[in-house]
Amino acid sequence: SVADYQGLKRGNLKLGVVTTAKYIAPELLGEYGLMFPGIQLAMNVTNRDKIIDRIKRYDDDLYVMGLVPEDEVSVTCNYFAPNPLVVLAPSSHRLCHAQGISLEEIAKEPFLLREPGSGTREAIMRLCRERNLKLNVRMELGSNEAIKHGIVGGLGISVLSLHSLVLEGVSGMISVLDVEGFPIMRKWYLVYPKEKTLSLPAQRFIEFSVDREDAITKRLAGIWPKLSEYVDGS
């Protein structure tokens, strides 16, 4: 309740987030900032390896990640939102109106792949290994934004988080293909070092984010209604 939050008049909250989480963390911070205007906010966006270094050094209060560290560092994690990965193509692509496209067919298409160390890349590579498929990689690109523009430019198709399209939607220049095995339903977690005592602002941010799960899921389903078939209760 609002009364519980009265103790949060001043303080700091520093987040460290993996690259794809930049599509979700700032908006959460924005809403949180409206509730607690006295809290100084900061956010660092970098790749997963560097985030793990930051966790080890206690650089930030909380981290947003998809693939929780296991051996690297001991952490506590809280699930707060889905992270569906979808197959994206230019809206002029011949497969845009096809249904139940096979993974074999996708593997033949020129593909734009994220850089080593990317969680998105890891998820698509794992699926291909399981199915004994080799992607037809046209190019590696180190950013979701570069991949989106590469798709529009006709360089190839790709697999990205649906969160990366939350501002423009999927009815413009980029479309979601209907492919078997997709979406890959990944998850977002708020993570912190196991032995660390959380600050009050960090504790509240976790509670606040976990409460947003429904709203975040609905927003994603708003841009791509088919998501409703893959998430509970929406």
Can you give the binding site for ligand PGA, defined by CB under 6 A? 18-20, 48, 65-67, 83, 114, 118-120, 186
Q: How far is the CB of 190 from ligand PGA (least distance, A)?
A: 13
CB of 112 to ligand PGA, least distance (A): 13
Which of 52/221 has CB closer to ligand PGA?
52
Q: State the minimum distance, in angstroms, from the CB of residue 93 to ligand PGA.
A: 23
Ramachandran class of 181: left when φ > 0, alpha when ψ lies in -120 to 50, beta otherwise = left
Q: Which is nearer to ligand PGA, 96 or 231 (CB)?
A: 231
Instruction: Give the number of other CB atoms < 10 A from CB of residue 209.
Output: 25
Q: How far is the CB of 164 from ligand PGA (least distance, A)?
A: 9
Residue number of the CB atom closest to ligand PGA: 119
Using CA atoms, how far residue 133 sits from 102, 125, 137, in Å, is: 11, 9, 12
Q: What separation in angstroms does the CA of 50 have from each of 56, 63, 82, 86, 219?
A: 10, 11, 23, 26, 29
Min. distance of Cβ 65 from ligand PGA in angstroms? 6
What's the CA angle centered on 101, arms 99 and 107, to 5 degrees? Answer: 160
Which one, 10 or 129, has the nearer CB to ligand PGA? Answer: 129
Of 65 and 191, which has the nearer Cβ to ligand PGA? 65
Nearer to ligand PGA, 120 or 175 (CB): 120
The smaller minimum CB distance to ligand PGA, of residues 19 and 175, is found at 19
**Containing H/E element for 15?**
strand 11-18
Other Cβ atoms within 10 Å of 130 Cβ, number? 10
Q: How far is the CB of 118 from ligand PGA (least distance, A)?
A: 4
For residue 89, the SS3 value is strand
Q: Closest by alpha carbon to 198, among 207, 187, 188?
A: 207
Annotate 61-85 with three-state secondary structure.
CEEEECCCCCCCCCEEEEEEEEEEE
CA gap 182, 229 in Å, rounded:
11
